Amino acid sequence: MTTPGFSDTASPTLVAAVIDDTGMLASLLGIERERAAKLITPFGSLAETIAAPVERLAEIGARPQLIARIKMLHAAVTRVLQAEVRRRPALSSWTAVTDYLRVAMAFETIEQFRVLFLDKRNHLIADEVQQQGTVDHTPVYPREVAKRSLELGAVALLIVHNHPSGDLTPSRADIDMTKLLVEALKPLGIAVHDHIIISRDGHVSMKAMGLF
């Protein structure tokens, strides 16, 4: 399918750079632009649309086959970004890490507590969602994080959770939990490099804020 306004010989990079979210979704899913616009409008962007929960997509009239294609697209984008995180030390590729986390969890409607387990060179060993909670709370169990870290042979962690409300301000519970986790892992020789809070509006580093 040729993108309207471009010849068959147009550079794919040029086409991708100028096409809007609606046109991009229409092209990727092989649907009419009008149909793509109806999908994007309730969510506001391509990123939020492909990351939307299955139930929410069904509510706006998307049929199961189309929902499956949307979620396949989301999975593909997530895998590409995760591969970039795996390719380099996490602490030297911060943009790749935060881009991946944004796609993976920024648009979730409930809180998730995620752990990126790192080796001694700060390469990613595993990326796991440890807990899921409510719209504003996720239980965290330091013993379980410590156990899993030892099982994987991790020597450092990046811990992450999302704020579905969009407010990136760390709560008192966020701060206390982080300190508890840092102290629990310290005797095991496992460092917590940072605690990242992410939302649809951006992200913050609790370490950069001086909170632990």
Average confidence (pLDDT) per 10 residues, the chain, 212 residues: 50 57 92 94 90 92 94 91 82 85 89 94 92 69 93 96 93 92 95 95 93 82
Residue 183 belongs to what domain range? 90-205
Residue entry with tokens 């060993």: 125
Q: Provide the CATH number for the domain around residue 53.
A: 1.10.150
Nearest-CA neighbor of 79 among 108, 50, 43, 121? Answer: 50
Do 44 and 134 fall within a single domain?
no
**60 and 96 part of one domain:** no
How many other C-beta atoms are found inside a 10 Å radius of the C-beta of residue 146? 18
Q: In what order do the strands lie in the sheet with 191-199?
A: 124-132, 112-118, 156-162, 191-199, 202-205
Residues 38 and 131 in one domain: no
Same domain, yes or no, for 118 and 178? yes
* Shared-domain flag, residues 111 and 195: yes
φ and ψ at residue 69, rounded to 5 degrees = -70, -40
Those residues with Cβ within 8 angstroms of residue 67's Cβ, 6 or more apart along the chain or in another chain:
54, 57, 58
Do 65 and 121 share a structural domain? Answer: no
Q: Which of 53, 78, 103 corresponds to the end of one domain?
A: 78
**Does residue 1 lie within any of the structural domains?**
no
How many independent structural domains does the chain possess?
2
Instruction: Give this prediction's pTM.
Output: 0.76
**104 shares its domain with 173:** yes
- pLDDT (0 to 100) of residue 201: 87
